Amino acid sequence: MPQAPSVKGFFDEATSTITYIVSDPATKRAAIVDPVLDYDPASGVADSHSIDAILAEAARDGLTIDWALETHAHADHLSAAQIVKAATGAKIGIGEHIDKVQKLFKPVFDAQDIKADGGCFDRRFKDGERFKIGEIDCEVIYTPGHTPADISYKIGDAVFVGDTLFMPDYGTARADFPGGDAQALYRSIRRILELPPQTRLFMCHDYKAPGRDVYAWETTVGEERAKNVQIKDGVSEEAFVADRQKRDKELAAPRLLLPSIQVNIRAGKFPPPHADGGRFLTIPVKLKGAAARAG
């Protein structure tokens, strides 16, 4: 019988993101999955009050945090992995293909400090790689499609799916970011849905599907296979890809896309400070129409 880790989810309403503490009840060893850094784009202020509260909760529970686990380089929130590492000594883990995402975005942000080899992360997990949280067995599942570097973490009987899947009444992640691929996303999700039906699945986001008044982020393989509005059993790859691509054309860019990507491909670090100590994010500008002609 698969081991059952303890899972606590913390919903960040500003970004609709769920950060998790996942722990082994026997040994009190733990990981924090997809930690969120508070960031106000209007003022440019980054703060740690949300992750501070999560770390305080872990301390009250007597947990030792061994890992800050990222499912991918998020485009909708800034990572607080560096805060977790500084506070606990935890290692920061992500999928081995993060270098592909770094190579895509390094020129976009003129990020000369990034070597684009994934080296700013402590551990770059390969598909099928195994590790432990306390006595609980963990396995990495490569789940590209949303980005070329997404992974999911199977921790005992629980899988943290990142942005591959959403709750059954909402569907799946978008696949239109650079390096995204709807066909790859379909195949990644079907791989997850081949797990036993009672396997617990934990989402990275929830946006409250129409008709649902509460946020939700835990479901099962069986529920997704039976009810997911985009990819339940019987939906062909061709039909999914057509529907996903149609939906993606209607989606706006995430509000924190530009600050998030350039911080997250640095494992949650901001760009290096200037000589005066100030730190600056890069905002690429595309000129169109009269703005382009005016230069």
pLDDT above 90 covers what percent of the chain? 96
Residue 205 has what DSSP assignment?
A: B
Mean pLDDT for all residues in the chain: 96
Full-model pTM: 0.96
SS3 for 200? strand
Q: If you count DSSP H runs as helices and E runs as strands, how many of each does the chain have, helices first?
A: 8, 15
Judge whether residue 1 has pLDDT over 80. no
The β-bridge partners of 158 are 155, 200
Judge whether residue 295 has pLDDT over 90. no
The pLDDT value given to residue 292: 87
Is-contact 19 35, C-beta < 8 A? yes
What's the pLDDT tens digit per position in 199-226?
A: 999 999 999 999 999 999 999 999 999 9
The β-bridge partners of 17 are 12, 205
What's the pLDDT tens digit per position in 153-190?
A: 999 999 999 999 999 999 999 999 999 999 999 999 99
Provide mean pLDDT across the span 71-75.
97
Residue 275: CB partners within 8 Å, gap ≥ 6? none
| Domains of the chain by residue range | 6-294
Output the six-digit token pair for 90.
């935890």
The pLDDT value given to residue 193: 98
The β-bridge partners of 67 are 31, 91
The pLDDT value given to residue 293: 86
The pLDDT value given to residue 294: 87
Judge whether residue 14 has pLDDT over 80. yes
Output the six-digit token pair for 46.
């980054």
Judge whether residue 42 has pLDDT over 70. yes
Q: Which fold has domain 6-294?
A: Metallo-beta-lactamase; Chain A (3.60.15)
pLDDT above 70 covers what percent of the chain? 99
What's the pLDDT tens digit per position in 258-289?
A: 999 999 999 999 999 999 999 999 999 989 99
